[in-house]
Structure formats: C-alpha cells, structure tokens
Amino acid sequence: WMIGGVILLLVFAGLLAVWLAPDRFTRALNQARAAEKTKDYAAALASYESALKLKPGDAECSKKIASVKQLLAAAEKEKQFNTALATARGAEQAKNYDKALASYETALKLKPADAECLQRIGPVKQLLAVAAAEKQFDAILAAARAAEQGKDYDKALANYEAALKLKPNHAECLQKFALVKQLLATAEKENQFSVALAGARAAEQAKDYDKALASYESALKLKPGDPECLQKVPLLKQRVAAAVAE
C-alpha cells in the first residue's frame, strides 16, 4: 500500500508540474518583455532564457535571446566608448597628451566615425610633437650651458647651434652662440701664439736667428703688445744683420 501511495504521489506531482508549467512560462515571458521594455537587458536575457527552458522550442524566446544579447554587447561597447572618451578629455585637459591620444584612439576603434575623436586626434598629435621638441630643446640647451660652464667650447658651440635649429630666434642661444664663437677664436689665437712663441724661443736657443725672428714676428702679429716679442724682434734683427755683415 505504501509503495502504491508513493507512486500515486509522484504521478500527481508530475501532473501538477505540467499543469503549472504554462503559468510559469507566461510569467517568465512577461518579466522578460517588461525588462526589455525598460532596457534592463541583463534581466530580460535571464527571463527569456528561463522561459525557453520551460518551452524549449519557443520562437519568440529564441529570437529575443539573440536580439537582447546584441543589445547587451552594444551597451557594453557604448560604455567602453564613453569611458575612453571621458579619459581622453580629462587627460587632454591635464595636458597628459600621451594618455589623451591613446584614449582617443581607443574610443575611435569602438566608434570609427566619431566626429570628436576624429577632430581631436590631429591636434593632440601636434601638441605631442611640440612637447617633444620642447623637451629636446631643453635637453640640448642644458648640455650647452654645462659645456660652456666647463669651458668645453667646441661642445657648447655645437649644442647652442643645435638648439638654434629648433628655436632660431631664441635670445640666449643667439647671444651665447656668438660669444662662444669668440671664445673659440680667442682660444685658437692663443694656441697659435703659444706655438709661435715656443718655436721662436727654441730657434733662438739653437742660434737659428732667422727662424727665431720670423717666429717672434708671427707671434707679435697674434699679440701685438706682447713684451717679450717686442723686446726680442729688434734684438734678433740686429743679430741677423750682424750675421749678414760678417
């Protein structure tokens, strides 16, 4: 008797489930439609899927599930686009142009025809180029100043010249370029004078008075008021003349 009662109870439960199934399907379908109408696509998808489990071949549910999935994907894409665009605007406002450009490009991949992104990418690229040139100029100018401070005038001149290519009218570079050129010319003249004077002394020491005289005169042209040269030139002229007379 007990076994028969259990079987009867199971049969009754099955019949009850079959009897209640249409109501559950209808409720799920209505919930799905209502959620879709309010654009709550996540809830709509869940309800359509629940309804489809209750009526596996239902055409409306199958069609709506595909449609709502597309709407969810589009909403997610829109969300990503808005986030990227907001990031781009904020970064540009903060003058973080690398981040701004990357974010505008990300947004444009999501919406290839977006007018704002298409319009802003060009100017931001230009701002990046300007910033890069400014950074390069600052580095070259710093190197020029350091070289001048260390009296490495060749390096200083090269760097001031490079800086002027980036900013042709930069006042400091124009002034320093001319000044360093003068310093280099002075240093070269001093070097030539030292070489001529050393040659003159060596020639005089070796009693090669013709060579000594020529070298002192060369040195004197480089430093017209040099006391040693002024003293040695007439003295050597006398010795050369005396040697000729002999």
pLDDT one-digit tens code per residue, 182-215: 999 999 999 999 999 999 999 999 999 999 999 9
Nearest to 181 by CA among 160, 150, 166: 160
Nearest to 64 by CA among 81, 79, 47, 80: 47
Under 8 Å between Cβ of 53 and 24: no
Predicted pLDDT of residue 18: 47
Q: How many CB atoms lie within 10 A of CB 122?
A: 10
Rg (CA), the chain: 47
Over 90: is that where the pLDDT of 4 sits? no
Q: How many helices and strands (H and E) does the chain possess? A: 9, 0
Q: Percentage of residues in the chain with pLDDT exceeding 90?
A: 89
Question: Residue 6 is encoded by which pair of tokens?
Answer: 């259990």
Under 8 Å between Cβ of 220 and 230: yes
Over 90: is that where the pLDDT of 169 sits? yes
Over 60: is that where the pLDDT of 14 sits? no
pLDDT one-digit tens code per residue, 20-55: 456 999 999 999 999 999 999 999 999 999 999 999
Tokens 């005169």 belong to residue: 217
Rounded to the nearest 10°, the torsion over CA 92, 97, 101, 103 is -60
Question: Residue 112 is encoded by which pair of tokens?
Answer: 């290839």
Distance CA 207, CA 204 (A): 5
Under 8 Å between Cβ of 191 and 179: no
pTM for the complete prediction? 0.58
Tokens 């001048």 belong to residue: 148
Under 8 Å between Cβ of 210 and 204: no
